[in-house]
Amino acid sequence: MRHSGGGAPFVLGFHKRTRFDYAREVGDGLDSSVVMAPVQFVQRSFPEARLRVVRAMGDGIREEVEGHAMTALIRRPNPHYGDVHLWAATLLSYLIDGNAYWLKVRNGAGKPTELWWVPHWAIEPKWPADGSGFITHYDYKPGGNVTVPLAFEDVVHFRHGVNPRNQRKGLSPLHGVIREIFMDLEASNFTAALLKNMGVPGVVISPDGAAQPSPDDVKSVKAWFKQAFGGDNRGEPLVMGAATKVEQYGFNPQQMDMSSARDVAEERVCAALGIPAAVVGFGAGLQTAKVGATMTEMRKLAWTNGILPVTATFADEINRSLLPDFSRRPAGRSALKDTGEEVEFDVSDVQALQDELDKLFSRYNVGVAGGWVKVAEAREAVGLDVDPSHDIYLRTFSQIEVPGAANAAPANAAPANAAPANTVPVNAGASGRQQPDPADVDDPEKSGSRKETKATRRPSKAQRGYVEALVRMEDALRKVAQKRLTVFFADLGEAAVDVARPMLEEEDLLRLTRHVTEQASRPAGEAKEDELLVYRILEGIDLTARQAGLRQIYEAHYVEVAKEVARAGELVGIATGLPDPVGRAVAQAGGRRAGLIDLEKQSRRALFDAIAEGRAEGEGAVQLAARIAEHVEAGPWTSVETRSLTIARTETKFAQNVSTIEMARAAGADRLTVFDGRLGPDRSDPDHIARDGIIVTADEAAQMAADEHPNGTLSFAPYFDLQDEE
Tens of pLDDT along 139-153? 999 888 899 999 999
Q: Is pLDDT of 219 > 80?
A: yes
Task: Say how far apart CA 508 and CA 515 lie, in whole Å.
Answer: 10
Angle, helices 580-595/543-568, rounded to nearest 10 degrees: 140
Specify the long-range contacts of residues 684-690, CB closer than 8 Å, at least 24 apart. 684/713, 688/712, 688/713, 688/714
Letter for the amino acid at 581?
Answer: P
Which helix (H) or strand (E) segment holds residue 96: the answer is helix 83-97
Give the pLDDT of residue 446.
Answer: 41
Which residue has better confidence, 382 or 334?
Answer: 382
Give the pLDDT of residue 423.
Answer: 36
Alpha helices, DSSP H, located in 214-258: 215-229
Per mean pLDDT, which of 199-208, 512-521, 567-576 is the most reliable?
567-576
Of 96, 83, 84, residue with least CA distance to 37: 96
Scored b (16 or more CB within 10 A) or e, 629-643 reads: bebbbbbebeebbeb
Average pLDDT, the chain: 79
DSSP state of 305: I
Least confident of 6-20, 101-115, 661-675: 6-20
Structural domains of the chain ordered from first start:
51-173 (3.40.140), 349-400 (no CATH), 461-665 (no CATH)
Give the pLDDT of residue 442.
Answer: 40
Phi then psi for residue 128, to 5 deg, are -65, 145
pLDDT tens readout for residues 83-123: 999 999 999 999 999 999 999 999 988 899 999 999 999 99
Whole-prediction pTM: 0.47
- Sheet of 50-58: strand order equals 61-64, 50-58, 341-346
Q: Is pLDDT of 40 > 70?
A: yes
Residue 165 CB contacts under 8 Å (≥ 6 apart), including other chains: 6, 7, 8, 10
CA distances from 383 to 64, 68, 244, 328 (A): 9, 18, 82, 26
Per mean pLDDT, which of 403-412, 531-540, 648-657, 687-696 is the most reliable?
648-657
Which residue has better confidence, 725 or 670?
Answer: 670
CA distances from 404 to 407, 408, 460, 486 (A): 6, 7, 16, 46
Q: How far apart are the first and last CA of the chain?
A: 54
Phi then psi for residue 203, to 5 deg, are -135, 160
In Å, the largest CA–CA distance within the chain is 135
Give the pLDDT of residue 427.
Answer: 35
Give the pLDDT of residue 395.
Answer: 75
Q: How does residue 221 score in pLDDT terms, banded at 50, 70 and 90?
A: confident
Segment 694-713 mean pLDDT: 87
Q: How does residue 327 score in pLDDT terms, banded at 50, 70 and 90?
A: confident
Is the separation of the CB atoms in 69 and 75 below 8 Å?
Answer: no
CA distances from 84 to 68, 91, 189, 323, 688 (A): 18, 11, 33, 19, 65
Is the separation of the CB atoms in 165 and 10 below 8 Å?
Answer: yes
Residue 668 CB contacts under 8 Å (≥ 6 apart), including other chains: none
Give the pLDDT of residue 186.
Answer: 82
Give the pLDDT of residue 56.
Answer: 79
Radius of gyration of the chain (CA): 41
